[in-house]
């Protein structure tokens, strides 16, 4: 008899209504795991993700949640625990739209806003998840970050700095909670076709800049949300049971 793909319970995906998060929800469902995912404002996207998972015949639920609301995030995790009894994986795949600007031109308000909606949101999720995972025998925590946390570009501080803080948070979580059977890792996402990049970062990048980035990728092409999702599901699965405290780059070699 083969090893089960996941422990008993549900996978929680924060930010599952579009892009990378949607791909992660769909990948868990295809792998046979029930999923509870959140969205902030994009309810239509959440409904579309639900529809895409119907054929898998796996339980998939979605919840509206502002992750920067500490009390609401703790309440959400308790709701999931009450419904599914056990949680085997928690994935942070959320985050706000990122303004592109030089450090010297970035306002303190913008800095605080991005950290509140990204780093603090991830912190709230992890704090809410830890007691649930401890109660159910451990599990996996994964955050989707960026290769820009270590390979810095001009005007990227509001992307790289909050995600670097999240990576450090996950490393400490891994160190402190391994004794409870809890693993914690980050997936450093590279440049992906579609989504924000295809839209020129919502008008902040032109086609020439996008082509220049693609030319810097050793594999010669952009990735897809499914590339990130496959890595997340692997780390969350029993195949990744001895992997903890790592920051795995999924970027076609761009970080080199």
CA 88 – CA 141 distance, rounded (Å): 9
Predicted pLDDT at 18: 82
First to last CA, the chain: 41
Does the residue 163 lie in any domain? yes
Predicted pLDDT at 193: 85
Does the residue 3 lie in any domain? no
Inform me whether the pLDDT recorded for 140 exceeds 50: yes
Give the pLDDT confidence of 204-242 residue by residue, as tens digits: 556 777 788 888 899 998 999 999 999 999 999 999 999
Does the residue 255 lie in any domain? no
Give the pLDDT confidence of 159-182 residue by residue, as tens digits: 999 999 999 999 999 999 999 999
Does the residue 1 lie in any domain? no
Domain count, the chain: 1
Does the residue 111 lie in any domain? yes
Predicted confidence band of residue 142 (pLDDT cuts 50, 70, 90)? very high
Predicted pLDDT at 20: 94
CA 31 – CA 6 distance, rounded (Å): 9
Does the residue 205 lie in any domain? yes
Q: Which domain covers residue 194, as residue numbers?
A: 10-250
3-state secondary structure of 223: strand
Give the pLDDT confidence of 73-88 residue by residue, as tens digits: 999 999 999 999 999 9
More confident residue, 201 or 97: 97
Does the residue 152 lie in any domain? yes
Model pTM score:
0.92
Does the residue 187 lie in any domain? yes
- Residue 83: CB partners within 8 Å, gap ≥ 6? 10, 36, 61
Provide the CATH number for the domain around residue 228: 3.40.50.720
């Amino acid at each position: 008899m083969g090893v089960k793909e996941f422990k008993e319970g549900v996978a929680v995906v924060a930010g599952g209504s579009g892009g990378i998060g949607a791909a992660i929800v769909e990948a868990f469902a295809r792998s046979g795991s029930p999923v509870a995912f959140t969205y902030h404002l994009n309810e239509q996207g959440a409904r579309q993700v639900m529809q895409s998972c119907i054929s898998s015949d796996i339980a998939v639920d979605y919840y509206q949640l502002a992750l920067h609301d500490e009390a609401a995030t703790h309440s959400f995790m308790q709701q999931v625990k009450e419904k599914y009894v056990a949680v085997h994986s928690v994935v942070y795949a959320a985050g706000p739209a990122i303004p592109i600007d030089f450090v010297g031109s970035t306002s303190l308000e913008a800095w605080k806003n991005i950290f509140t909606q990204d780093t603090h949101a991830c912190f709230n999720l992890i704090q809410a998840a830890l007691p649930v995972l401890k109660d159910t025998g451990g599990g996996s925590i994964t955050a989707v970050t960026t290769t820009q946390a270590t390979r810095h570009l001009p005007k990227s501080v509001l992307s790289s700095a909050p995600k670097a803080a999240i990576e450090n948070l996950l490393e400490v979580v891994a160190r402190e909670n391994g004794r409870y059977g809890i693993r914690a890792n980050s997936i450093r996402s590279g440049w992906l076709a579609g989504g924000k990049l295809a839209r020129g970062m919502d008008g902040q990048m032109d086609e020439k800049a996008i082509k220049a980035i693609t030319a810097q990728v050793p594999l010669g092409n952009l990735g897809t949300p499914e590339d990130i999702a496959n890595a997340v599901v692997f780390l969350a699965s029993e195949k990744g049971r001895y992997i903890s405290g790592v920051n795995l780059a999924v970027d076609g070699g761009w970080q080199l």
